[in-house]
Amino acid sequence: MENDGDDKLNYYIEIGAVEVAGISEEGEFIYSVTELAKEIAPDLWAAHEAHVDESLLSLYDMGLVSVSYNEDLEAVIELTDEGKKKAKELGIIQMDVSDIPND
């Protein structure tokens, strides 16, 4: 019998709120919350936004993020190389194909 977490994940995939974004080095699926989730799964979207916000604050506290503002007063967030690595580990930015090892 599938557990409740698997049921929810399968449901979100079926409705298009979550998609498979890749496969990790360990062979595990990497999932991504889609923009569609804003409309069809607002609780999931809110949890996703909270995770991203908390992760960015954590990276900022570690000195791995800098924030500046452009001429339109829009925030521009820049990550150090270590910050990019940590952000990928936290799942807040996607891996590039070039990041996947060729064995």
The pLDDT tens digits for 31-90 are: 889 999 999 999 999 999 999 899 989 999 999 998 899 999 998 989 999 998 898 888
Number of domains in the chain: 1
The alpha carbon torsion through 55, 58, 63, 65 (nearest 10 deg) reads 30
Note whether residue 69 is domain-resident: yes
β-bridge mates for residue 23, sequence order: 29
Nearest to 36 by CA among 51, 12, 17: 17
Contact at 8 Å (CB) between 22 and 30? Answer: yes
Note whether residue 11 is domain-resident: yes
Note whether residue 34 is domain-resident: yes
Distance CA 25, CA 101 (A): 7
Domain coverage including residue 32:
4-92
- The DSSP secondary structure of 60-89, one letter per residue, reads HHTT-EEEEE-TT--EEEEE-HHHHHHHHH
Q: What is the pTM of this model?
A: 0.71
